[in-house]
Amino acid sequence: MSGEILQLQPRLHCIAACVPQGARLADIGTDHGYLPVWLLQNGKIDFAIASDINAAPLEHARRTAQRYGVAARMDFRLCAGLDGIAPEEADTVAIAGMGGETIVAILQAAPWLRQSDRTLLLQPMTKAELLRPWLAENGYCIRQEHLVRDKGNIYAVMVVHPGNSAAPTAAEAWCGAGLLHDPLYGDYARSRVRKLESAAAGLRSARSADSALLASLESDACALRKKIKEWEDANGT
Ligand SMILES: C[S@@+](CC[C@H](N)C(=O)[O-])C[C@H]1O[C@@H](n2cnc3c(N)ncnc32)[C@H](O)[C@@H]1O
């Protein structure tokens, strides 16, 4: 058994904190395997499945597990999404560090995730504004959402369960419905407005701008600026 303890970066630490004690975890797109290895080392889980669509990252995860002495308590699966994982094998599924569209595609390909209560921990690197409405339209409910700052960026971590939820407003799609009390909300929301504004500016300068898309970006930016103003007034900032 290795005596070395893995140090986790804030983004992964935030996800780890959302994993229920004793969970049967599947980490999809594990890459380096840091999340399951840290959870095993810290006694939060007893066993984990680490999967990846690519062989090299999965090998990386295997090496991390060996280095930190937890390889015997992990299973490594080379597969797309949850294709190589049976429903009874995992009650908690982490899908982190990927684009929102990839996360949606992985969830679409595994409709059994909705069939019994299961915890999904989703952390999109991009397109969270697509993921949130998709979850509401497809039988999932975001029970909690957290923001975490890591190397200058702010990431949203979603704790999702099967269940009904109302469709998010435009401001909620971009910034989450449950994040208003998060200390990072103001910085997160302002960075999301800047993203919308720069996408709209890019479209305006294009020769053949998609006018419907431009109108939608401008309307979302307007809704979000209004929400930020309300939040600033309520928080005295
Ligand atoms: C940037 S890494 C994220 C690693 C880790 N989950 C994290 O959050 O730090 C993304 C990983 O997802 C894997 N990946 C991408 N699409 C996938 C899919 N459809 N199914 C499984 N793994 C996928 C990639 O091979 C890569 O190793």
pLDDT score of 62: 98
pLDDT tens for residues 163-196? Answer: 999 999 999 999 999 999 999 999 999 999 999 9
Using the atom order of ligand 1, give the atom closest to the CA of residue 54: 25
Closest CA to 179 of 152, 211, 221, 145: 145
CA 79, CA 54: separation in Å to the nearest integer? 8
Question: Considering the entire predicted model, what is its pTM?
Answer: 0.96
Is pLDDT of 126 > 90?
A: yes
pLDDT score of 206: 86
Using the atom order of ligand 1, give the atom closest to the CA of residue 57: 27
Q: Which amino acid is at 67?
A: R
C-beta of 81 in contact with ligand 1 (< 6 A): yes
| 146, 185 contact by CB (below 8 A) | no
Is pLDDT of 20 > 80?
A: yes
pLDDT tens for residues 34-85? Answer: 999 999 999 999 999 999 999 999 999 999 999 999 999 999 999 999 999 9
pLDDT score of 209: 77
pLDDT score of 136: 98
- In a mutational test of the pocket of ligand 1, which residue from 14, 37, 51, 54 has the highest number of ligand atoms less than 8 Å from its CB? 54
Is pLDDT of 127 > 80?
A: yes
Is pLDDT of 1 > 80?
A: no
Beta bridge partners of 147: 156
pLDDT score of 216: 94
The encoded tokens of residue 54 equal 């690519």
pLDDT tens for residues 188-219? Answer: 999 999 999 999 999 999 877 789 999 999 99
Using the atom order of ligand 1, give the atom closest to the CA of residue 105: 19
C-beta of 160 in contact with ligand 1 (< 6 A): no
Confidence of residue 2 (pLDDT cuts 50, 70, 90): low
pLDDT score of 40: 98
The whole-chain average pLDDT of the chain stands at 96
The encoded tokens of residue 17 equal 């904190």
pLDDT score of 41: 97
CA 110, CA 64: separation in Å to the nearest integer? 28
CATH topology for 10-165 is Rossmann fold (3.40.50)
CA 121, CA 135: separation in Å to the nearest integer? 12
Q: Kindly state the percentage of the chain with pLDDT values over 90.
A: 93
pLDDT score of 188: 97
> Average pLDDT, stretch 89-102?
98
pLDDT score of 140: 97
| 224, 189 contact by CB (below 8 A) | yes
pLDDT score of 96: 98
pLDDT score of 207: 77
State the Rg of the chain over Cα: 19
pLDDT score of 3: 81
pLDDT score of 236: 83
Going from N- to C-terminal start, the domains of the chain cover 10-165, 185-235
CA 166, CA 18: separation in Å to the nearest integer? 23
